[in-house]
Amino acid sequence: MSAKTAKLQIDGIDKVIELPIYEGTTGPDVLDVRGLVSEGVFTYDPGFVSTASCESEITFIDGGKGVLLHRGYPIEQLAEKATFLETCFLLLNGELPTPEQKTAFENTIRYHTMVDEHIHQFFKGFPKNAHPMAMLVGVVGALSAFYHDDLDIDDPTHRKLAAHRLIAKMPTLAAMCYKHSVGQPFMYPQNSMGFAENFLHMMFGTPCEEPNVSPTLAKAMDTIFLLHADHEQNASTSTVRLAGSSGANPYACIASGIAALWGPSHGGANEAVLEMLYEIGDESNIEEYIAKAKDKNDPFRLMGFGHRVYKNFDPRATVMRKICDEVLEELGVEDDPLFRIARKLEKIALEDEYFISKKLYPNVDFYSGIILKAIGIPTSLFTVIFATGRTPGWIAHWDEMLSHPYKIGRPRQLYKGHTPRDI
């Protein structure tokens, strides 16, 4: 830790409080404020906008420069040169796999893709029109019921096994959510297939036909999972860490992350982007919606725009936009009206002073929904796709926290309620 300190003079406290300052390998320094509680004061940071909750080596974001690194590798290079499973290995282990490690990891994940047959019964209890995220949060939380023997969170081998099971089973469960909603039989994973190919097969295959997945769509799906793999201490990852800090089992922690991701301000935005584009309906209505987004009295926000950290472009959106072009061309729907509206909306917003001044750029969710729709994935399943991609990030942060000394998370408050009074 560095010898730098900050000196704090607080009215009413007749001494200078020295707070240690720590430097990261890159990014902002941090002020260690843990000593303040003994001086009788708390820090105050609703939404944790300027609070570092932990030390981490997994992902670094520079919001001003549009930089996203996973274990030091830029997201643009990973999207171009790595697969989703190689990125999962990188997030979990700190390095990209050697060819031998890659083969072994792929086989390990393949081995865990099937789910216990009893889980099929869970879906029978859901109404056909249940939201897929409601089903996913339920069945993932229930997974711990099937793995009592491997839940010693202080045992690294148990933690790694839980990580592999969760990464492997999310696509299977995601596809089961879809099949339940369309009344088709669940498809079993095929060990002869790659990760994304298997997912699309379980989604759109039926027992009546031979498997037939487009390699282009499988590659696009793999990159979409990769682009969602991790994103530092976002709302859902912080939820996973907080749940994990109480010693909850990994399946319960990931279920808590799924629940947090569901909100339209977070992972639910990709679904909200499509609903917004449907609502806009025609390019001629764009100006009206831009005005609504700028109107302080109108709760409407341009979904897929803005970010808590990126105050420049979201590098994932740049890659996603390129994939969007490729997939729509491959499918011969480059004139898709929603895509046209999205492109026009992006152009107008990026030239509008309001969005420029507030540094609102398209984020990862802006284009992902259009690609997923083009692939044939229903809008209600978009956040399930996001959760499937984000699982390695969630579980890598959970494992990183448990691999080092940690305390149960317990924020304090600025109390503005009644002082003691008698009934």
Q: Which residues bind ligand SDX (CB under 6 A)?
A: 231, 234, 265-266, 269, 293, 301-309, 358, 360, 363-365
Phi/psi region, residue 123 (left: phi>0; alpha: psi -120 to 50; beta: rest), is: alpha
Q: Which is nearer to ligand SDX, 192 or 265 (CB)?
A: 265
The catalytic residues are: 266, 307, 365
Q: Which residue has its beta carbon closest to ligand SDX?
A: 306
Q: Which is nearer to ligand SDX, 131 or 397 (CB)?
A: 397
Q: Which is nearer to ligand SDX, 119 or 274 (CB)?
A: 274
Q: Which is nearer to ligand SDX, 191 or 285 (CB)?
A: 285
Q: Which is nearer to ligand SDX, 189 or 315 (CB)?
A: 315
Distance between CA atoms of 191 and 111, rounded to whole angstroms?
8
Distance between CA atoms of 203 and 384, rounded to whole angstroms?
12
Question: Are the C-beta atoms of 102 and 85 separated by less than 8 Å?
Answer: yes
**Within a 10 A sphere around the Cβ of 106, how many other Cβ atoms?**
18
Question: Are the C-beta atoms of 60 and 26 separated by less than 8 Å?
Answer: yes
At closest approach, how far in Å is the CB of 401 from ligand SDX?
Answer: 17
At closest approach, how far in Å is the CB of 355 from ligand SDX?
Answer: 7
Task: Report DSSP letters for 309-369, one per residue.
Answer: S-SS--HHHHHHHHHHHHHHHHTT-TT-HHHHHHHHHHHHHHHSHHHHHTT--B-HHHHHH
Distance between CA atoms of 229 and 92, rounded to whole angstroms?
11
Phi/psi region, residue 332 (left: phi>0; alpha: psi -120 to 50; beta: rest), is: left
